[in-house]
Amino acid sequence: MDCNKLPEDILECAKEVSLNLLPQKSREIYESAYQRFVEWCKEKAVQIYSEDVLMVYFANLAKKVKPSMLWSQYSMLRSTLDIKNGVNISKYSKLRAFFKRQNEGYTPKKAPVFKKEQVDRFLHTAPDNLYLMMKV
């Protein structure tokens, strides 16, 4: 059956269901990333979300943010562009190669982690009247 021949209420319901595919907790962040991209496209008078357009967008973004942030922006745009515009950017091989190139030589900072001995020392020496709730 042709998609154009579906009743309007079915199409509307399908669109609504599709919009709910974004993660509930981070929907605002996804929407924000999408809106920044759409605004950038408007500024550049871009109407088609091609691989070249996304390459330029992310090349500009790469000047401002770290590679890990680029990957998260890519992930959010991949989801929102697919849901809202039917554009599957995961098939853009040049774009993925660009991200891999951006990652070369980048070493993310690791968060400090307590060693077992440090945790044991805290549990045994910290006064209960101040730290009991943390110990539990």
- In angstroms, the CA 13 to CA 8 distance is 9
Q: How far apart are CA 45 and CA 19, in angstroms?
A: 26
What's the confidence (pLDDT) of residue 93? 92
**What letter would DSSP give residue 57?**
H
Global pTM reads 0.67
Phi and psi at residue 85, in whole multiples of 5°? -120, -5
Residue 107: per-residue pLDDT? 65
- Sorted by where each begins, the domain ranges of the chain are 3-107
Length of the chain: 136
- Which pLDDT belongs to residue 118? 84
What pLDDT, on a 0 to 100 scale, did the predictor assign at position 10?
A: 80
Q: Which two tokens stand for residue 110?
A: 């690791």
Question: Could you state, in chain order, the average pLDDT of each consecutive group of 10 residues for the chain (136 residues)?
Answer: 66 74 87 95 94 94 87 92 91 89 69 84 83 74
pLDDT at residue number 32: 94
